[in-house]
Amino acid sequence: MPAIGTLHQLLCAAIGERRLVEFSSKRCQRVGEPHDYGVKDGVRKLLYYQIAGQSNSAPPTGWRWADTDEISGARILEGRFAGPRPAPSGRHVKWDKLFASVYQKG
């Protein structure tokens, strides 16, 4: 399991600055726009929009979940993203606790 403090700070910073992140999860290297990070159903999770890299399913782009205990080698990239993307269903996730979100101001 990655050090929560370090990964927690990295994800919060990336979301706050709307910066792309790169990490490995489920044996795939991924690049994405981190949108929400928090606790859902008792598990720390990242909701992100994958824009590049590998995926265990096709296509390798789109909305994805990552349990933080499956993330390794996370780093913030220089690239930025514009902000929130519309949710395809129009619905948003109900979080137990939300640490950071591109939908929050400040």
- Structure confidence by residue, pLDDT tens digits, 4-52: 569 999 999 999 999 999 999 988 999 999 999 999 999 999 999 999 9
Q: pLDDT class for 54, splitting at 50, 70, 90? A: confident
The pLDDT tens digits for 75-99 are: 999 999 998 887 766 556 789 999 9
DSSP notation for 19-80? EEEEEEETTEEEEEEEEEEEEETTEEEEEEEEEEE--SSSSS-EEEEEEGGGEEEEEEEEEE
Please report, for residues 55, 59, 77, the alpha-carbon distance to residue 8 in angstroms, rounded to integers and kept in the order given: 23, 28, 16
Report all structural domains of the chain as residue ranges with CATH numbers, in order of start. 4-101 (2.30.30)
Q: What is the pTM of this model?
A: 0.86
Retrieve residue 60's tokens: 């390798």
Classify the phi-psi angles of 14: left when phi > 0, otherwise alpha if psi is within -120 to 50, otherwise beta. Answer: alpha
The pLDDT tens digits for 65-76 are: 999 999 999 999
**pLDDT at position 96:** 95
